[in-house]
């Protein structure tokens, strides 16, 4: 009886969550105030989706903080979010977050995570992480939480220490069908992993400070790593 009650309660909560999930549309490229991405994030409740009314380049004055379940979807619009080489783009404090069809560029910090710092459960799809920088680790992304990267590109990101494209501290990451090119760090310009995670159908090339560190051969599937680091399944010049 208790099991049945638990199941019914869980189903009711899921249905209620679905019914009340909303879509919020960004209607301008402002840093804040009505119609802006920042205001949409503030107004959203857990499970909501944010989309965009048109093509926008959004230039930030300070980082965007996310602390709830949220999807930000550029869709068919060309959406670029810029830190203007002065601030980080996203600080994902908690929550299950989906970033789709976005360009995240020119984030800059004096610590970790120039483009994104992730402490939640983050999925990035069909997006570009471009020209972000960190004075410490993780020029593109510094991740302490769960991370999935799918069909995305990391290019020309830099970190003074480790992980120009990505620095991952967890064992809960996975990357598929993605490209890391031209990223820079003192070590592991492409990807620095504290614990190995799966790389599938991915290219890591043209890095400064080696392409990769910390990913074992058993976790590489149809992956090309140009300089042969991280025991790739293929090692060659990808002609990017």
Whether 202 has a pLDDT exceeding 70, the answer reads yes
Q: What is the dihedral angle through the alpha carbons of 211, 217, 221, 225, rounded to the nearest 10 degrees?
A: 20
Nearest-angstrom CA–CA distance, 84 and 134? 13
Both tokens of residue 127?
């997006």
Instruction: Report which listed range, 79-83, 216-220, 231-235, is most confident.
Output: 79-83
pLDDT of the residue at 1: 46
What are 59's strand-pairing partners? 82
Specify the higher pLDDT residue, 3 or 90. Answer: 90
Distances (CA, A) of 182 to 129, 158, 191, 206, 210: 12, 9, 12, 5, 11
Nearest-angstrom CA–CA distance, 136 and 40? 30
With vertex at residue 213, the alpha carbon angle to CA 122 and CA 84, rounded to the nearest 5 degrees, is 50
Q: What is the pLDDT of residues 124-150, one digit of tens each?
A: 999 999 999 999 999 999 999 999 999
Instruction: Kindly state the percentage of the chain with pLDDT values over 70.
Output: 88
Whether 11 has a pLDDT exceeding 60, the answer reads no
pLDDT of the residue at 170: 87
Main-chain phi, psi angles of 63, to 5 degrees: -65, 160
């Amino acid at each position: 009886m208790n099991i049945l009650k638990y199941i019914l309660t869980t189903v009711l909560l899921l249905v209620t969550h679905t019914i009340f999930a909303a879509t919020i549309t960004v209607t301008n490229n402002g840093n804040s105030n009505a119609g802006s991405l920042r205001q949409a994030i503030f107004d959203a409740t857990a499970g909501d989706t944010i989309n965009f009314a048109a093509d926008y380049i959004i230039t930030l004055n300070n980082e965007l903080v996310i602390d709830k379940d949220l999807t930000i979807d550029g869709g068919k619009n060309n959406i670029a979010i810029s830190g203007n080489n002065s601030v980080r783009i996203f600080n994902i404090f908690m929550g299950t977050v989906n970033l789709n069809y976005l360009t995240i560029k020119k984030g800059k910090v004096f610590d970790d995570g120039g483009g994104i710092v992730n402490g939640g459960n983050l999925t990035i799809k069909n997006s570009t992480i471009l020209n972000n920088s960190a004075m410490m680790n993780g020029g593109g992304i510094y991740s302490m939480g769960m991370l999935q990267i799918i069909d995305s590109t990391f290019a020309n990101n830099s970190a003074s220490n480790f992980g120009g494209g990505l620095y991952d501290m967890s064992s809960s990451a996975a990357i598929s069908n993605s490209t890391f090119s031209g990223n820079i760090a003192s070590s592991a310009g492409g990807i620095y992993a504290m614990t190995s995670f799966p790389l599938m159908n991915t290219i890591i090339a043209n890095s400064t400070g080696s392409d990769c560190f910390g990913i074992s051969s058993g976790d590489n599937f149809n992956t090309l790593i140009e300089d042969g680091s991280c025991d790739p399944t293929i090692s060659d010049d990808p002609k990017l």
